[in-house]
Amino acid sequence: MSQVSPVQNLGGSTKCRMERQNFVGETPQNSSQVPDKEYRLLYLSFSQHILIALDGVIPGGGPPTRKHPNSLDPEKVKNSYYIRAKRGDSAQISAVNCLWYCNARYRRLIGYLVGLTPDVISIHVMDLPGETVPELLAHWAGVDGDTEAFVTVSADGGERRALTRREVYDLSRSFASRLYERGVRKGHVICVSLPNSLERLVADFGTILVGATTQNGQILRADGEDFVRALNSTKAYAVVLNPEAEHGAWQILRRFISSPAGEVQCPELLYLRHIIVCTRSQNNDLDFLAQLRAVPPAPVTTLPRVEASDIAVIFATSGSTGFSKLAPQRHSNLLHIMRQVQRISQLCSGERFINCSLLGWAAGFPLWYLGCGSTRVFVDCFAGFPQDMAAAIWHCVQQEKCVYAFLTPMYVAAILDRKNLWQRAGAWRLRGINVAGQPMKRAVVAAAVGAFCDAVDINYGTTECGVIATGRVTAESSSSYVDGLTGPPAFGVDLRIVDEDLKDVPMGQTGEVLARSPALYGSYIDNPEASARSFTPDGWFRTDDVGYQLPDDGRVVHLGRRSDAISRGVYLCYPGWLETLLCRAPGVADVCVVPVPDQVLHHEICACIVPAEDPPPSDFIATLRDYADSQLLTTQGDAQHMAPKYYIIVDKLALTPTGKISRKIMAELAATRLGMVPNSS
């Protein structure tokens, strides 16, 4: 039985011709002239199953229900076959056994025919409508192309902008044409240094459509050294930027380049050849998107063929450990992460969700749209970052009726503190939120479920490896949640917990987390030392995170960074578990445990405490010390006693530019407050 090629641009009106040699014998029931017909694929999926109709349409768009009992009438669906199979499987199912198991809301997954006999249809069920980003963009443009794909709301909530699926594809192809005219070819790297905006989306997608790799133009250092180093490391051919942006890429590059016009020749930037200007203006001659609308989209046949093995994007790590490491991702890597988020969020085509993570980050890349066809809503930052992002996010949720939200723990806590946002009468309630970026506290998770959403999906992952572990917390399960708990290993992930010698430790024992996944590329760009430290020869990624798996069900508890471990004598103290303990103490709002210098032990332990009351009670520190000591079996003076020796009161915890706690700054603050010289090690 020969296999036909996967169908391109599959959708409600897409047809696939079966080859004559795939048919043998008599015509199947309810079909006429099978070998010479074209078969319409109507795909509807529900949970882990897919339903496909051949050469037929479902009147009413769904199965019989109490509200629409006649929406699926077999008498009106002649010449149709309905097949149910698990995602990713190849299945042979009797053509005459119709399975009416579908829901029109879940129009997401597809399959392609691989064979046909009188009694059996062979079908391979695909969980994504393509194998590369260009194929996915083309697919969604051909399926309800007038559906909004991306919606932005200005920081003040006053302006709403949107692009439909077809507009996203057409504008991206127009930008691909512009890049091609500038000499961009397959394999080139284009650094996109734009904030979250529709312009940023089009620049990223256009870069990928022309066969190039889009690089996140992240700038964390005021001197721009990290940005310049990244451009040289990736051999970036061009930079897309807004010259009017404050503290943007042009403020760095203008030190070496006099004008963004013309070809670049610069000894400090050996490979850079072009600056591509992106501005927003009422003047269509100057406006980036208006210019692209005036250019016919590049015909698909003129675009280079993109393979699943090609590098699509270069992400940058957060930079919290120094200069950002550059983590490439092939199309195949990205598509695996899309399969992961499909299974986590269960978003459907056209459903609205909000994700305000930066588009150049792994968590902010438009994975949900490409994989699920969901409409993404985010805050437009082209003119600047909003002063109150939490309020801006919540405004978007209410205005656009988002059913799901991807949030960092920082924004979850900020929204919880703003009860006036979500306690208003008639406030829209989220079906679920997805949090990632740092271990979650039980108090925050329990409060969120009860306040403004029905469930919290907690992800543990990395830029390099995608989602490593994931779990869902509901009102029923929130009481048993413990700090740092995520869930079992995510789809496609192998996981190990190892000791210092990389030997597996027993379930329940703490160690370093190692992960292996189809989302893993396997090295950093231009950083062989970091690559050798982080990637093992047999394909494992060393996360440098500390955690353990629960013995009963294998769920992962993420305690924090291994490099955050405090070396106290011959023992290591992992601050994550100690912070969890201290957060349970009365009167503690937040805590960060850091090392401070000690002449004998190398480091001692200091707890930086944010009290719940301002000012705290006069005996607050003494009470807290007694509480911590009481929670440990060892006593003061014992080398294994891991309770803090020092406590300091702070108004708030310092954060990195990416919203994570800056342990480096807190350690320096603690040493200074205690009259010590900060230990650079």
Beta strands in 401-500 (DSSP E): 404-407, 432-435, 455-462, 466-474, 494-498
- State residue 569's pLDDT score: 63
Instruction: Identify the DSSP state of 184.
Output: -
Question: Per-residue pLDDT tens for 410-422?
Answer: 788 889 988 988 9
Q: What is the mean pLDDT of residues 435-440?
A: 83
- State residue 91's pLDDT score: 39
- State residue 35's pLDDT score: 30
**Residue of higher predicted confidence among 603 and 228:** 228
What is the spatial distance between Cα 657 and Cα 229, in angstroms, rounded to a whole number? 19
**Residue of higher predicted confidence among 108 and 200:** 200
Q: What is the mean pLDDT of residues 565-593?
A: 82
Of 365, 382, 353, 357, the closest CA to residue 315 belongs to 365
- Least confident piece of the model among 97-101, 153-157, 334-338, 462-466: 97-101
Q: Is 61 left (phi over 0), alpha (psi -120 to 50) or beta?
A: left
Q: Would the pLDDT of 118 be above 70?
A: no
Nearest-Å Rg of the Cα atoms of the chain is 27
The mean of the pLDDT values for the chain is 79
Of 126, 130, 160, the closest CA to residue 142 belongs to 130
- State residue 228's pLDDT score: 94
Structure tokens at 580: 């969890």
Q: Would the pLDDT of 62 be above 70?
A: no
Per-residue exposure over 404-428, b if at least 16 CB sit within 10 Å of its own CB, e if not: bbbbbbbbbbbbbeeeebbeeeeee
What is the spatial distance between Cα 369 and Cα 334, in angstroms, rounded to a whole number? 12
Q: Would the pLDDT of 286 be above 90?
A: yes
Instruction: Give the count of beta carbons closer than 10 Å to the beta carbon of residue 28.
Output: 21
- State residue 224's pLDDT score: 84
Highest mean pLDDT among 5-14, 89-98, 118-127, 398-407: 398-407
Q: Which of the following CATH numbers is that of domain 565-674: 3.40.50.10140, 3.30.300.30, 3.30.43.10, 3.40.50.300?
A: 3.30.300.30
Angle CA 90–104–40, to nearest 5: 55
Backbone angles phi, psi at 404, to 5 degrees: -150, 150
- State residue 640's pLDDT score: 56
- State residue 391's pLDDT score: 92
DSSP string of 192-243, one letter each residue: EE--SSHHHHHHHHHHHHTT-EEEE----STT-HHHHHHHHHHT-SEEEE-T
Q: Would the pLDDT of 385 be above 50?
A: yes
What is the spatial distance between Cα 513 and Cα 510, in angstroms, rounded to a whole number? 9
**What ranges in 520-596 are assigned the alpha helix state H?**
528-534, 575-583
What is the spatial distance between Cα 80 and Cα 58, in angstroms, rounded to a whole number? 9
- State residue 157's pLDDT score: 82
- State residue 581's pLDDT score: 84
Percent over 90 (pLDDT), the chain: 55
Of 219, 522, 240, the closest CA to residue 358 belongs to 219
What is the spatial distance between Cα 277 and Cα 239, in angstroms, rounded to a whole number? 8
What is the spatial distance between Cα 534 and Cα 528, in angstroms, rounded to a whole number? 10
Per-residue exposure over 558-573, b if at least 16 CB sit within 10 Å of its own CB, e if not: bbbbbebbbebeeeeb
Of 112, 91, 97, 119, the closest CA to residue 34 belongs to 119
Q: What is the mean pLDDT of residues 406-411?
A: 87
- Please, which residues have CB within 8 angstroms of residue 44's CB and are 6 or more apart in sequence? 50, 51, 52, 58, 62, 102, 103, 104, 106, 107
- State residue 510's pLDDT score: 95
**Residue of higher predicted confidence among 597 and 124:** 597
CA distances from 279 to 164, 200, 255, 547, 572 (A): 21, 11, 21, 46, 51
- State residue 634's pLDDT score: 52
Q: What is the mean pLDDT of residues 499-520?
A: 96
Angle CA 75–79–82, to nearest 5: 85
Q: Would the pLDDT of 25 be above 70?
A: no
Q: Would the pLDDT of 49 be above 90?
A: no
Q: Would the pLDDT of 506 be above 90?
A: yes
Question: Per-residue pLDDT tens for 155-191?
Answer: 888 899 999 999 999 999 999 999 999 999 999 999 9
**Residue of higher predicted confidence among 201 and 635:** 201
Q: Would the pLDDT of 89 be above 70?
A: no
Indicate the pLDDT class of residue 241, thresholds 50, 70 and 90: very high
Q: What is the mean pLDDT of residues 484-490?
A: 93
User: What is the three-state SS of 485-515?
Assistant: ECCCECCCCEEEEECCCCCECCCCCCEEEEE
Indicate the pLDDT class of residue 134, thresholds 50, 70 and 90: very high
Beta-bridge mates of residue 609: 591, 649
- Least confident piece of the model among 167-181, 597-611, 612-626: 597-611
Superfamily for 133-407?
ANL, N-terminal domain (3.40.50.12780)
Indicate the pLDDT class of residue 90, thresholds 50, 70 and 90: very low
pTM reported for the whole predicted model: 0.73
- State residue 678's pLDDT score: 60
Structure tokens at 554: 């294998």
- State residue 127's pLDDT score: 61
Q: Would the pLDDT of 369 be above 90?
A: yes
Q: What is the mean pLDDT of residues 244-259?
A: 91
Instruction: Give the count of beta carbons closer than 10 Å to the beta carbon of residue 24.
Output: 12
Backbone angles phi, psi at 93, to 5 degrees: -130, 140
Domain ranges for the chain: 39-60+69-115, 133-407, 565-674
